[in-house]
Structure 1
Amino acid sequence: QFGLGYRNPDGSLIAIDDRRWDPIWSACGDLGLPIIMHTADPAAFFQKIDETNERWEELHRHPEWSFPADKFPSRKQLLEARNRVLARHPKTNFIGAHVANNAEDLATVAGWLEQYPNLYVEFASRIGELGRQPYTARRFMIEYSDRILFGTDGPWPETRVRLYWRFLETYDEYFPYSEKVFPPQGLWNIYGLGLPDDVLRKIYQANAVRIIPGLKQKLAAAEDELKRAAAAEDAQDAPQE
C-alpha cells in the first residue's frame, strides 16, 4: 500500500522511501530481521485495461488492482523509491516479493541484485511469468541461486505446491501455472526449468535458513520429530516375537 494506498492527512500518498520509516528499517538490520517488501505490481496493472492488456481477464475480475497513470505514481517511480530504501540501509536484508515485482524483466532484477547485496527475491505467484521465459529464468535462478527464496503467496492447497515443484524440478512443457480457474493471470502455459539439485537446496531451504533468525532451530526440531515418528512407526510394524 505504500505509494499506492496509504495517505497523509493532506491526502498525499505515503511513499515507501519516506524518511519516517527509516528507524524501522534500521532497527530490523540491527536485530538481523529481514524485511519482505511488496512494492508496485505486475507491469500490466499499470497499463490501460483494454484488448491490448495481456492480463485483461484478471483485471476485469479485479479492477481494484489497476493503477492508472492519472491517479497513481508510475511503476518505475515506485520501484525506484524501493531501491532508495535498499541503498540507504545496506545492513538490512530485504526480500523483494514476487521477484522484486519485476519478473517480466529479469535482466533488470539481475542488475538490482548486483547493485544491492542486501536484496533477496522470492517468486510467489510469479511462476506464470518465469515459466514462459524458461531459458532466461533458468539462467537467472542458477546465477543468483544464493539470493532466491521459495514462496507460494500464502498457504495454498497441495495442488499449487505440486505446480511449483513441476516448474522448478522438471523439464515438462506447456502446463498450467496455477490451480485457479484459467486464466488466473494470462492466457498462456509454462515450461519447467529442471534446476540442479544444489540450486534447489538453496532455494527450498538453505537461503532462508541463512537470513531468517530461528529458522534453523525450527527445522532441526521438525526433523527430530519426523525421525521420532518414523522410529515409532517402524517399531509398531516390527514383527512380534
Structure 2
Amino acid sequence: MRNTIVFLTAVISLLACKSDKKHMSSENATKVAIEQQSIKKIDVHAHYKYERDYLADFFKKWNMQGVLVDVSIADSVGVNRSWNEYLDHVKAEPNLFYLCSSLIGVGIDNPDFAQKSIERLEQEIHSGARMVKVWKNFGMVTKDASGNFIQIDDARLQPIWDFLKERKIPVMAHIGEPVQAWRPLDDPNNPHYGYYTDHPEYHAYKHPEIPTYETIITARDKWIANNPDLKILCAHLGSMSHDVDMVAERLDKFPNIYVEPAARFGDLVGQDSDKLRALFEKYQDRILFGTDYGTSSPQSEKTTEELKAEEQNLEESYSRLWTYLSTSDSVALRGQKNKGLALSEQILNKFYYQNAADFLKLN
C-alpha cells in the first residue's frame, strides 16, 4: 500500500511538473512574441509611391519607419520619378518616412550634366533626402552618345560623388542584377523566375548586347575602390545574393560599404542557414533591413476587397521575413525552403533598426 502511495505521489508530481513546464513554455512564447514586436524597425528600401489609408497604422503597428527610395526611369517622354509623391508622404507622416533621391545617367554627354545633377540633388537634400540611389540603368540600360553602356565608374560622374562626400550623403547602389539574369530561365522554382518573366527587358540572357555580369560587378567594385570616403549601401546584397562568400569578400575588402537584402531573401533561404547566420554575426554592424515592398497603383484603382487583400499580403510578407530571421522554423520563400536563422536579439536590433539609424544619421 505504501509503495502504491509513493508511486501515485510521484506520478502526480511528474504531471504537475509537466504542467508547470507547459505553462512556462507558453509564457516564454508570449514573452518572445512581445519582444519581437517591441524591436524598432526601419525598412531602408521601400517604394510606397501611392498612398494607402491603412499604411500609417500598418507601419505604427509594426513599430516601423520606412525610407522611400526614388527610382528614375527614362522613357520616350523623359525621366519618370516618384519624388513628388514621396514628398507628400513625408509631409503627411514625418515621423514614419524618410526620403532617398536618385541619379540617372541620361544626358551624361552634356557639358553641364554633373553640375545640373548636383544642383538638383542639393535641392532635394534640402527637402529631406538622406541618401541618393543609383540603379541598374548604369551598366545595363542607359547609353551615352557613343552608344556605350554607362558604367557606374564613369569618370563623368566623379564630380557628383565628390559633392555627396562633401555633404556626407550616402549612396544606395543597385548595380547589376542577380547572376541568374544572365542564365536561361527554365526553373519555376528559381527565386527570380517571376520577375524576369514579367520584366524580360532585364533578362540579360536574352539581350547579348548587355554587358556581362562580371563586367558590371568589376566596374562597381572599381567605383567603390575609387571613392573610399563615400558611404555606399549595396542594395540587394550587391547583386551577389547567390553567393554569400562574394558578399563577405566585398565587406572585408571595402570598409565603406554596407548591404541590405531587399527582394533577395529567396536567394538567402536557398543557402545554408548556418552559413547565413555566421554572415549576420560577423557583419552585424553592416547589414541593414530592406524589403523592396511598395505600392504600384493608385488607391482609387483598387476595390475595398483588393485593398484588404493587399494589406493582408503585406502583413504576411513582413511576418514571413521576421520568422526567417528570428526563429529556426521552416520557411518557404520564392520557391526555396529552409530553416530560419534564429538571430540573437542583439543582432535583430542592429539589423532592423540601429544600423540604418547610424548609416543615415537619424539619431
Which category of TM-score, normalised to the shorter sequence, fits these structures? Answer: 0.7 to 0.9
Deviation by residue 1:160-184 (Cα, 9 ceiling, x = unmatched): 21111111101111x232xxxxxxx
Match of 1:170 among 319, 327, 336: 327
Q: Point out 4+ residue stretches in structure 1 off by more than 6 angstroms.
A: none
Match of residue 58 from structure 2: none
| TM-score w.r.t. length of structure 1 | 0.79
Taking only the aligned residue pairs, the percentage that are identical comes to: 31
Distance, in Å, in 2 between the alignment partners of 1:26 and 1:131 is 38
- 8 Å CA contact 1:92–1:118 kept in 2: the answer is yes
Alignment of 1:210-221 (within 5 A): 210-213=358-361, 215-216=362-363
Match of 1:29 among 146, 155, 165: 165
* Residue 56 of structure 1: how far off its partner (Å): 4.3
Match of 1:88 among 178, 202, 226: 226
Gaps of 5+ in 1: 178-184, 217-241
Distance, in Å, in 1 between the alignment partners of 2:318 and 2:139 is 31
Distance, in Å, in 1 between the alignment partners of 2:269 and 2:336 is 10
Q: Which amino acid aligns with 2:154?
A: D
Deviation by residue 1:99-127 (Cα, 9 ceiling, x = unmatched): 11101111111111111000100011111
* Aligned-residue CA RMSD (Å): 1.9
* Residue 9 of structure 1: how far off its partner (Å): 1.6
Does 1:191 pair with 2:339?
Answer: yes
Match of residue 150 from structure 2: 14
Instruction: State the number of aligned residues.
Output: 206
Match of residue 208 from structure 2: 70
Q: Secondary structure at the match of 1:77?
A: helix
Gaps of 5+ in 2: 1-136, 296-313
Match of residue 3 from structure 1: 139
- 8 Å CA contact 2:269–2:336 kept in 1: the answer is no
Distance, in Å, in 2 between the alignment partners of 1:14 and 1:53 is 33
Q: Secondary structure at the match of 2:343?
A: coil
Distance, in Å, in 2 between the alignment partners of 1:70 and 1:101 is 19
Distance, in Å, in 2 between the alignment partners of 1:124 and 1:56 is 16
- 8 Å CA contact 2:189–2:336 kept in 1: the answer is no
Larger Rg: 2
- 8 Å CA contact 1:127–1:167 kept in 2: the answer is no
Match of residue 48 from structure 1: 184
Does 1:160 pair with 2:332?
Answer: no
Alignment of 1:60-139 (within 5 A): 60-68=197-205, 70-133=208-271, 134-139=273-278
Match of residue 281 from structure 2: 142
Q: Which amino acid aligns with 1:151?
A: G
- 8 Å CA contact 1:132–1:191 kept in 2: the answer is no
